Chain A
Amino acid sequence: MGLLVDNTVLDAALQYLEDNVDWISVCEGAPTTYEHAHSNKGVGAGKVLAHSVTPTFTGPADGDTNGRKTTIDEEANITVDVSGDADHVALCKTGDTTLKYVTTCTQQALTQGNTVTIPAWDIEIADPTAA
């Protein structure tokens, strides 16, 4: 039996991210709470080294493999607020203080006062496959 999902189903989830995310942060260590992804390293449980309040998206559009995707556009030259080893990128909604999405990045040492660029990256929801 074939499995099928309409694009509108996947787009609803991706559009939710596009409509609600207003914070992107570069973190040292895996953020699992809003505080981790929103407070600077050294402040409470914060893990943030750099952040931007102007993340933008492109999509939803067809996924690279299948399904649908949204692209988080490049965030160029964000000021590094705290030195540390960047290894995660987080997306948050500040309005209701929720952590919405976390991904990893190749670990890189960031230095306070420098800048960091987060290249464009995708979140893709794949078409269903048999379990």
Chain B
Amino acid sequence: MSDKKSTQKKPFNHVLEVQKGRIDIREIFKRIDERIKEKKDGTIS
């Protein structure tokens, strides 16, 4: 049996550094208000 090592290279694994997302809840309520105004009947679609 050959003791030659395989020459196949293992793919390099890149590891990302991802920025955490932080949402201001005022933005959510602002968008809900906009959606209500768009519909003008007080409901949210």
Q: List the interface of chain A (C-beta within 8 A of B).
A: 5, 9-10, 13, 26, 65, 67, 76-77, 80, 86, 89, 101, 103-106, 108, 110-111, 113-119, 121-128, 131
Contacts and interface: CB of A to CB of B under 8 A. Distances in A.
A125 B23 contact: yes
Given A106-B16, A114-B13, A118-B16, 4 more contacts: A114-B14, A121-B19, A126-B25, A128-B25
Nearest to B16: A105
A19 to B, nearest CB: 17
Nearest to B13: A115
Interface string B16-34: 1111111111101000000
Contacts of A104: 18-19
Contacts of B26: 128, 131
B15 interface: yes
Contact of B22 (A76, A108, A118, A124): A124
B11 interface: yes
Nearest to A71: B20
A110 B15 CA distance: 10
A20 B41 CA distance: 27
A126 B23 contact: yes
A67 B20 CA distance: 14
